[in-house]
């Protein structure tokens, strides 16, 4: 449940950043809990951050592969957007 809640908050932060024209990297999420130990929050956040970094690397590699194959930027963007959403 904690992981799902974190994903929901991250989605809300991303949407707010897009709406306001800010970069996600400029926003700091501070986790607070009355019922969960700090160590649990830290571990969940670390795992989520690592997963996101892995997804970024996968997308970057796929973009480079498609460009190397001579695909147009429109084709690249279409495929990446389908992958992300």
> pTM (2 decimals)?
0.47
pLDDT digits (tens, 9 = 90+) for 28-61: 988 777 888 888 878 887 887 888 788 888 888 9
The one-character DSSP state at 40 is: H
What are the residue boundaries of the structural domains of the chain, listed by start? 1-30, 35-85
pLDDT digits (tens, 9 = 90+) for 1-28: 677 887 889 899 999 999 999 999 899 9
């Amino acid at each position: 449940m904690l992981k799902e809640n974190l994903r929901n908050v991250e989605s809300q932060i991303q949407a707010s950043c897009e709406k306001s024209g800010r970069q996600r990297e400029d926003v700091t999420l501070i986790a607070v809990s009355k019922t969960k130990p700090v160590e649990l929050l830290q571990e969940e956040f670390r795992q989520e951050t690592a997963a996101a970094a892995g997804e970024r690397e996968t997308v970057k590699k796929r973009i480079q592969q498609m460009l190397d194959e001579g695909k147009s930027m429109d084709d690249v963007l279409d495929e990446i957007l389908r992958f992300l959403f």
